[in-house]
Structure 1
């Protein structure tokens, strides 16, 4: 992965975000969930979402209308 290409980094972060979402869903379906682990995964997922949004915002040029 090229660190200079934000689209590759964004794609990788989206994959991680999806994996966390799937893991969270599996834990919920299991029933007996460690709430601390669930909260930690949700926080990590939110952090990834924020990072993706920041990268998308930085890669989109500002257009003055």
Structure 2
């Protein structure tokens, strides 16, 4: 059952965002691979997409850190 956004917990919102960001990361992987396979790869476009992919990876890491409880050894 999906709750309206105003009834979702902060953790639920983060998990939903994480799902979207991971899909965007995979989509960028596909786009980069397609550009690299072309006869004349647009290196500037590839570089921009890789930069976007890295930013997504950083955002995904921050969300995962927020969702993972701190364990003090």
TM-score under structure 2 length normalisation: 0.81
Aligned match of 1:56: 64
Runs of 4+ more than 3 Å apart: 1-4
Unaligned regions of 5+ residues in structure 2, if any? none
Residue 13 of structure 1 corresponds to which residue in structure 2? 21
Unpaired runs of 5+ in structure 1?
none
Task: Quote the offset at 1:49 in angstroms.
Answer: 0.5
How many angstroms does 1:58 deviate by? 1.0
RMSD: 1.7
- Decide which of 31, 34, 38 is 1:26's aligned counterpart: 34
TM-score (normalised: structure 1): 0.90
Match of 1:46 among 54, 63, 69: 54
Once the 2 structures are TM-superposed, how far is the Cα of residue 31 of structure 1 from its aligned partner? Answer: 2.9
Q: Which has the larger radius of gyration?
A: 2
